[in-house]
Chain A
Amino acid sequence: MFRKNNYLALGAVTLLALLVLSLPQRVTSHFKLALGSLFLPLFGLAGTAQQLPADLADSVLPRRELLQQIDRLRRENDQYKAMVVQSAAIAGENDRLHALLGWSQQTPWKLRLANVVMRDPANWWRTVQIDLGSRDGLRENLPVLTAAGLVGRVSVVSYTRSQVILIGDPNCRVSALVDNPSHDMGVVSAGGVLDTALVDLTYLSGGASLKPGQNVFTSGLGGIFPKGIPIGQVVDSRPVEFGLYTEARVKLSADLGGLEQVWVLFP
């Protein structure tokens, strides 16, 4: 049963696997990017195939409906313009007050839209890949969000694509602040395996007064996520370690299961 060829194959594959596993992090990330780029033509094909029905639907859309949509978008655009003017006035006032008090000025963040091109094929990680890379100015640890709330952070960047670790993955921890009178602070960590909408908020103080429905935001601590990005809402809470600290479950605002487009936040 055990012939010479069997021994050779067993030895060669084991040795190769151990060699690849023992490579330094920087080298393996380069290898990963090179191997991942083999799939680029397929990504292109898949994108075209997904775009085709949308193009077809666009070509048969009645002119009247298009005009109605344009009219509605124009009205919305006017509303947003008014809001921008109002926000600019508030921001100016805020800057002046900051200057009067001698506080440091907050630099405004820029947003960049990205398409989610694939999900992690392994069930034990929560990551997605987006179609922005270092050529678009992306770098590691930039926050990623949707209009609903925080999604995660950029973890690996290649030239044309980047990997985003989603909230709920054990490698994405976020310092969070509960919007309640005592402003309780905790750390958002991994949640349930099957339900991507729920995460755990841990290391809350023992006397934290949490109620279901209270909003949870990023606290700004940790240096990665700016303060005030919505994360989700408290579902329930329980004392842990004989009341030493409190743990809560948070329902995420962003729908991580149906991500198609996300915003990357640039400082």
Chain B
Amino acid sequence: MNVLRTILILAAAFLVVFGEATCPLPRHWLGAQVDLLPVLMVYAALTADLLTVSLLAVLGGLWFDALSANPLGISILPLFAVGFLIHLWNELILREVSFAQLVLGTVASASVPLLTILLLLTAGKQPLLGWGTIWQWLVMTAGGAAATPFIFALFDWSNRALGYQPRVEPSFRSDREIRRGRL
């Protein structure tokens, strides 16, 4: 388990939730706030272990709900469902390819709000829904998709800058050396 990566992901989730609550610009310009937690979940599911995915789902969901009128804990399950499924398939996904990141960001950003609204309706809450919700959903999906490659690039850079680089084994091995004679 890479502790630094886990800490960075959780710190980013904290800042993302705070930024979404205090930055009104996307809402003014596009009519919807873009949620970056699903994008972080995609990154965590592809590069970190299941404990990090679980921690991100629980803490990210709780932080988001604490600043929102959502019932506390409602965002945990949608985030975890997306992270868990991606993590199950992470060995088959080309995580370095930008297109794969974009597709996964799209799927995650589209499904997390849908699952959350479904849970809210199941819990008997009355969220503000209407035809405009489709536009908001499209903005959230497109915004999340566009942000995914940037988030990957940012985390890769920060991991390189802050973490220890893996030691590259030299090709020379003394036990494989061919000892030559005089001739």
Contact = CB atoms under 8 A, between A and B. Distances in A.
B118 to A, nearest CB: 12
Interface in A98-128: 117-127
Given A16-B76, A119-B27, A193-B132, A28 B71 contact: yes
What's the interface size class on B, roughly? 35 or more
Given A39-B67, A129-B67, A118 B21 contact: yes
B128 A193 contact: yes
A223 interface: no
Contact of B136 (A33, A35, A123): A123
A31 B72 contact: yes
Given A21-B71, A39-B18, A193-B129, A124 B63 contact: no
A218 interface: no
Interface string B65-93: 11111111110110010001000100000
Given A17-B80, A193-B130, A194-B31, A122 B69 contact: yes
A125 B69 contact: yes
A8 to B, nearest CB: 9
B133 A124 contact: yes
Interface in B1-56: 14-15, 17-18, 20-22, 24, 27-28, 31-33, 35, 50-51, 53-54
27 contacts: A6-B84, A9-B84, A13-B80, A17-B77, A19-B73, A20-B72, A20-B76, A35-B66, A36-B66, A36-B67, A38-B63, A38-B66, A39-B18, A39-B21, A119-B27, A120-B69, A121-B20, A121-B21, A121-B33, A121-B35, A123-B32, A124-B129, A125-B127, A169-B128, A193-B128, A194-B132, A257-B27
Interface of A: 1-2, 5-6, 9-10, 12-14, 16-17, 19-21, 23, 28, 31-33, 35-36, 38-39, 42-43, 46, 117-127, 129, 155, 163, 165, 168-171, 190, 192-195, 257
